[in-house]
Amino acid sequence: MKRPLILVSNDDGITSKGIRHLVETMKSLGEVVVVAPNSPQSGMGHAITIGNTLRLDPTDIYGSDVQAYECSGTPADCVKLAKHHVLKDRNADLIVSGINHGSNTSISVLYSGTMSAAIEGAVEGVPSIGFSLCDYGHDADFDHTLPYVKAIAEQVLKTGLPKYTTLNVNFPPKRNEDLKGVKICRQAHAKWQEEFDQRYDPNGRRYFWMAGNFVNHDKGEDNDEWAIANNYVSVVPCQFDLTAHHTISVLNDEWDINIK
């Protein structure tokens, strides 16, 4: 039987530890093609490159059995270039992004370059998954995530996903106890409470450094923050349609705008 075609990308860059683990895991499931940024692109959200050049260079970083390219653009650029140039007349069966160094739970899904690659795959109608490990350390241990990465990818290859849907998968950091399993859940109601530290460069010119704290307002036990805190793998189905459908009828009923 023909092996599935799996496109791999990320936002930490093509040389990151997380994507190496993801590539090796996906090689056991199908033919792997990699298109990933040539430098870190964390926090880029769904940015795309307009008005500047995009460079795409082949690399043998993963060996001769993996077709791989490093791209000068964003994660969303990588998926677009993969579809329209690298794969050309071939269609990916699955797009996976990550494994990200750091959490992409809750509101972070909006800022995440990891998830933007997966969401771009969903825009193209391809089943897509973003994987993230809630550990920012450069020496983070990914080993406990890999059986779940493989199992979730296998499940999506087997059963597919509703069209235009992607999965946001987050793993707790390595702990003394084994992971408890998978929780299908919702995005937690939480946000970053930003602070801007005003500083001055050696020439006396003012600049700002963004800092702040993550604040979780959600007391439920059905959300991704609760799952991670309780040592579960969180799986949140996401969509790129941001329409607040429940508000349409409210506005139609309550608004009365007449311009004369």
Overall number of domains in the chain: 1
Residue 11 annotated in ligand binding: yes
**Residue whose tokens read 């995440």:** 112
Residue 100 annotated in ligand binding: yes
What is the CB neighbour count within 10 angstroms for residue 84? 10
Task: Name the pLDDT band for 146 (thresholds 50, 70, 90).
Answer: very high
* Residue 194 in domain: no
Query: Is residue 227 a contact partner of residue 233, using CB atoms and an 8 Å limit?
Result: yes
* Residue 207 in domain: no
For residue 46, what is the domain's CATH number? 3.40.1210.10
Residue 1 clears pLDDT 70, i.e. is over it: no
* Residue 99 in domain: yes
Domain that holds residue 62: 5-188+219-254
* Residue 34 in domain: yes
* Residue 202 in domain: no
Chain centre to alpha carbon of residue 39 = 16
Instruction: State the helix-helix crossing angle for 146-159 and 17-27, rounded to 10 degrees.
Output: 50
Residue 42 annotated in ligand binding: yes
DSSP string, 98-141: EEEES---TTHHHH-HHHHHHHHHHHTT--EEEEEES---TT--
Digit-coded pLDDT (tens) for 57-80:
999 999 999 999 999 999 999 999
* Residue 52 in domain: yes
Residue 72 annotated in ligand binding: no
